[in-house]
Structure 1
Amino acid sequence: MISNGQIQVVALLLCRIMSFIAAAPVFSQKDFPNLAKIILGFGIIVSVYPQIDNYHVITSLIAFLLIVVKEILVGLAMGYIGQLVFNAISIAGQMIDFQVGFSMAQAYDSTFQVMSSQYGKMYYWLAVALFFMMNLHQQLIIGVIKSFKIIPLTGGMADGATIQGVVRLFCRTFIMAIELAAPLVITMLIVNLLLGIISRSVPQLNVLMLSLSLQAGLSFLIVLIMLPNIVDTLQQVLPHSVTNMEEFVRALK
């Protein structure tokens, strides 16, 4: 016979886990099959359920609804903080596109339902490939399972230190994006400076038409040359998606 306590536990587990999947990196993509999301969510619930003990049945409907909202917010926050690293990678690609001149070639990406840049998509999918190669998706799921030991279903509270930590994560995200985009952006600035000098020295030369093809060709060449360094940088950056989420969970303890 299924008791009210068991139903409440499964409902609260479902709220946190499915809201996490709805905001987490890779799993939240539109192209990720909905059936796979459901199977993943219920698989995590089966893994977590035996760990839940000392749960007291909530008799008040209002109190239960408040805990449901709390679990949804915790899951969304965990997934979004894990997504911040991928946002930094996409921002880096957009900065490069703006400097190279590809910002005019942005197209609608149905995966994210936003206007995406060319280098932004390249950096993002390279990061996704490395994410799976480094088994970070497994660590992300393990982090969600461990979160139930740190934050019980009826516990967890955000204080001033937690909010400050989230603000620092946002700052770190923009710093990360600048560091990823800096080599190409600086190179393109130097190229633009040289083209400006050429245009002043040889007024007859159509520098505008020359710069479009020159910047595109140089950017591709620099990316190919720096591809091993880009991969090494992404390998150092991507684990932060897991560590940032774990730090946030500990802060809510």
Structure 2
Amino acid sequence: MISITDAQLNTWLISFIWPLTRILGLIMVAPVFGHRSVSATVKIGLGVFLALIISPALPPLPDVGLGSWQGLFILLQQLLIGIAIGFVMRVAFAAVEAAGEIVGLQIGLGFASFFDPQSAGQTLVLARFFNLLAMLVFLAINGHLLLLGVLVDSFQTLPISLQPVAAAGFFKLAGYGSTVLAVGLQLALPLIAILLMTNLALGILTRSAPQLNIFAIGFPITLGVGLIVLDILLPYFAPQFEALIHNALKTAVAVTVALRP
């Protein structure tokens, strides 16, 4: 007859539940993995599969009860670590969407919006298009595998322990939020400059020929020029998205290092 002691059962549970919590925290907020079109069953199944693979290679775990206050503290801490790693990549995608919002408003497609189930709000068509393009680049460069690699390495860089994580990691994560506006403006700047010159030309034309109805011809000209320029610049967006994703992965590693007590 096989007998299992309470200590053995607790050891098996903590070696599975704690890493699973960190993994599910990342899957919950990371791009692609955390998309609403991915069912909860698939997310939990992927998390369990990864936890079963990772748990045998974990460093020694604290000898505390899973249901104790110390065990619950570790559980909450692992969830925050996973969310922090996934949130870094979410910020990178938010910067891409911000670029699409800026471009759409400058072209004149601010009215072309629809309900996005991912953000549970109205999203401009161009912002959604940029997000899909960034997601394709993310998958093409195996960004999802690189992100999982960062997660696996975090168990060595930031092992599961009773020590609280350092606040410097969360400050670094908050500082990375400036990427949303900075990168969004950098991506949209070429098109903004061309549309600015187009609006200046329309202004000069209006002053020289006041009988022209600028509201009747200005919108189609701005929209046409914007779409043409966007078509020309589109091949140059993919390398920028790739560099942004690699930078986000490096930031995720830096955040895990900064979280180390």
TM-score, length basis structure 2: 0.90
1:1-253 mapped onto 2 (5 Å cutoff) = 1=4, 3-59=9-65, 61-154=68-161, 155=163, 157-159=165-167, 161-253=168-260
User: Aligned equivalents of 2:246 and 2:237: distance in 1?
Assistant: 15
Question: Aligned partner of 1:7: which letter?
Answer: L
Which amino acid is the alignment partner of residue 87 of structure 1? A
Contact residue 92 and residue 178 of structure 1 kept, 8 A:
yes
Of 214-223 and 168-177, deviating more is 168-177
State the shift of 1:163 in Å.
4.1
RMSD (CA atoms): 1.7
- Change beyond 3 A, Cα 1:44–1:177: same
Q: When the two structures are superposed, what TM-score results if normalisation uses the length of structure 1?
A: 0.93
**Are the counterparts in 2 of residues 17 and 41 from structure 1 also a CA contact under 8 Å?**
yes
**In 1, Cα distance between the equivalents of 2:155 and 2:47?**
14
Could you give the per-residue CA deviations for residues 186-231 of structure 1, whole angstroms, max 9, x where no partner exists?
2112211221222222222111121221122111111111122112
TM-superposed deviation, 1:173 = 3.2
Letter in 2 for 1:136: G
Aligned length: 252
Most deviating of 177-186 and 162-171: 162-171
CA contact (8 A) 1:5 1:56 kept: no
Q: CA deviation at 1:82?
A: 1.6
Q: Which moved more, 1:113-122 or 1:87-96?
A: 113-122
Question: Would you say the 8 A contact 1:44–1:145 is kept in 2?
Answer: no
* Uncovered stretches (5+) of structure 2, i.e. residues with no partner: none
| Structure 1 residue 6: Cα displacement | 1.4
Percent identity, please: 24
